[in-house]
Amino acid sequence: MIRRMKGTYDITDDIGYYKAIEKQIERVSKLFNFKEIRTPHFEARELFHRSVGEDTDIVSKETYDFEDRGGRINTLRPEGTAGIVRAFNENKLYASNISPQKYYYYGSMFRYERPQKGRFREFRQFGAESFGSNHPSMDAEIIAYAATLLKALKIKDITVHLNSLGDKTSKANFEKALKAHFQPHLDSLCKDCKNRYEENPLRILDCKVDKNHESMQSAPKTVDYLTDADKAHFESVQAYLKSANIDVVVDHNLVRGLDYYTHTVFEIKVSEDLLGSQNAICGGGRYNNLVETLDGPPTPAVGFAFGVERLVVALKENDYPLSEDYLHVYVLVMGEQARLNAAWLIQRMRMGGLMVDTDYTERSMKAQFKQSANHNARFVAIIGDKEVEEGALNLKDQQLNTEERVSFNDLYVTIVDKLTQKRSDCQDCDYKGESQ
């Protein structure tokens, strides 16, 4: 038997959680006036090397690279931002008369890493990017957007961890201080950290191997090396979040794992009861230089990303209530002539927005009733030879436990009328199923 590739998975029983997340993403995105954008699953390898960073774990260890038949080296996208920026530049979206330009995306990403709970080699990511505003209120809005999604999904006890890397001058000053701090400890740090010391010392703070090393605990803090302008920006972001009633923890060790970040960086963490110690569910920040790095005009930008699988784990641990699957109508047929007449009735109801199914395996009447119950159908329309002759059928309401004779021509209207009755007309039943 051919089996799925390691680190991938089939979505079957959990599909309801994914659909619930997608529904809330669309709803919350409309509230914040973010428009959807979709980009290819693979890009030129150079895109991620120039944006994410040559010495990041993602590029150096985790990307899926392949050569196509034209000799081009392509990469399955490991994250969403670089592709969005490429699309922003290539399609000249910066020329829009709307500013800032605000987009969200949802789709598969690919990283070659050790599979574990909530982390896979193919994973879904939801993210958002805003282009064109350098104001600290935009940083606060992007964080509020992410926090609002979690609240819409009934995930409570969230905490925003916030830090600032500053811009070029602040980062250069901080990196100089980091090199001076870590130089005496190099012999006891891991191989990757020794390489990062030369290439990008900021990455040392993101090391998973040496995270408990004594030198990590006493490392310099970014906030102490911010320019006055960068410090004012960071303080303003905190003020806007406070005004929006979003609790913040200033986390001086937070740097995020991608090279393109400037100024604000953040993570949103949930209760360890939901995700354990690896409880960061969202991360993001500002990247004011990336659009220009990828050959676009100078454009400030800020964004975030969620790992959808981790959201699913959190929803399941939180007993998130899923919508119950149901049908409006199950058409029970007995005989070939009844099946022919049922075909046009079913299509008419579906075209009118009703969810309808029927038997396709010539089951007995008893077995079809069982199927209607398995499908959680509100109504069962029963058609046999007699019904075809009379042009009328028996319609059974399985919630009210009533049955009536209805003409073929009146079937759709009768069902819609019953579905749209107010709940007050049905005090003793478990009402569900409105017309679509």
All domains in the chain, ordered by first residue: 15-167+227-317 (3.30.930.10), 327-425 (3.40.50.800)
Residue 159 CA, chain-centre distance (Å), reads 19
pLDDT score, position 424: 42
CA 41 to CA 59: how far, in whole Å? Answer: 16
Residues 200 and 255 sit within 8 Å (Cβ to Cβ) = no
Please give the structure tokens belonging to residue 392.
């009328």
Tokens 């490392």 belong to which residue? 219
Residue 161 sits at φ, ψ, to 5 deg, of -95, 130
From the list 18, 33, 17, 21, the residue with the least C-alpha distance to 104 is: 33
Over residues 84-93, the mean pLDDT reads 97
280: β partners = 269
Which are the contacts of 7, defined by CB distance < 8 A and separation ≥ 6? 112, 113, 115, 120, 121, 122
Enter the pTM of the model.
Answer: 0.86
Residues 253 and 213 sit within 8 Å (Cβ to Cβ) = no
Percent of the chain with pLDDT over 70: 94
CB neighbourhood size of 247 (10 A):
10
Q: Of 174-183, 268-277, 280-289, which has the strongest mean pLDDT?
A: 280-289
333 or 116, which is more confident: 333
pLDDT score, position 259: 74
Q: Per-residue pLDDT for 155 more than 70?
A: yes
Residues 53 and 81 sit within 8 Å (Cβ to Cβ) = no
Q: Is the peptide bond before 100 cis (omega within 30 degrees of 0)?
A: yes
What does the angle CA 428 – CA 432 – CA 435 come to, to the nearest 5 degrees? 130
CA 232 to CA 203: how far, in whole Å? Answer: 25
Query: Tens of pLDDT along 35-77?
Result: 999 999 999 999 988 877 766 667 777 899 999 999 999 999 9
Q: Of 169-183, 223-237, 422-436, which has the strongest mean pLDDT?
A: 223-237
Residues 86 and 39 sit within 8 Å (Cβ to Cβ) = yes
Over residues 255-266, the mean pLDDT reads 84
For 362-380, give one letter per residue: b (16+ CB within 10 A) or e.
eeeeeebbebbeebebbbb
